Amino acid sequence: MGLFTKAKNKPASPLKQMATARISSVYNRIKNMWARWVETRTAAFTKKNWLTAIACLIILMGGYSGYLIMSAFTSEPTAFLKVGSIRRPAHTGNTGDTKIQEFISEGEYKNIERFHRYMDSIARDPMGRKEYDSITKARPGLMDSISQFERYYQQFKEK
């Protein structure tokens, strides 16, 4: 896929074509209604009326533009974006790498071990297998993470 390649025209689905045609027809109907309304309201305008309307429009738009230009030079500057200091999250070090917690409490380990045993027991039970599958489907790497955590804890305990 190149940078300047021509996009391939895929045929639009019939549903999209119908929706586009419907939106286009509604837009054209509203546009025509607006044009007829403006035409009936301005049908009796003389050249003097048109010149007056255009002069009023020019005066209003010119005055507003002048106001914006003058306020840019005379008013206090307002900051739309406030730039503050960026605080580093507590779980990162000076290099930006995530700090690894070196100590895992016995209670945390027991909770995870208890959860692992629970998951193993429902995986073996025919009635619980459905719940196990739904948990592992919703959280695909959960059991791998628990196994890695237990290995990490065992390595940490040996040191």
pLDDT of residue 60: 97
pLDDT of residue 100: 56
pLDDT of residue 80: 72
pLDDT of residue 94: 67
* Nearest in space to 118 (alpha carbons), one of 138, 140, 142: 142
Helix (H) or strand (E) holding 3: none
pLDDT of residue 108: 84
Instruction: For the chain, list residues with pLDDT below 50.
Output: none
Residue type, position 135, single letter: I
Question: How far apart are alpha carbons 136 and 29 in whole angstroms?
Answer: 55
- Which positions ≥6 away from 153 have C-beta within 8 Å? 104, 109
pLDDT of residue 153: 80
| pTM (predicted TM-score) | 0.37
Q: What are phi and psi of 151, to 5 degrees?
A: -65, -45
**147, 155 Cβ separation under 8 angstroms:** no
Question: For residue 45, what are its two tokens?
Answer: 């305008």
Between the alpha carbon of residue 136 and those of residues 57, 61, 112, 119, 147, the distances in Å are 67, 64, 16, 10, 14
pLDDT of residue 2: 58
pLDDT in tens, 72-83: 888 777 767 777
pLDDT of residue 91: 62
Strands of the chain, DSSP E: none
pLDDT in tens, 99-125: 555 567 788 888 889 999 999 999 998
pLDDT of residue 75: 76
For the chain, percent of residues with pLDDT exceeding 70: 84
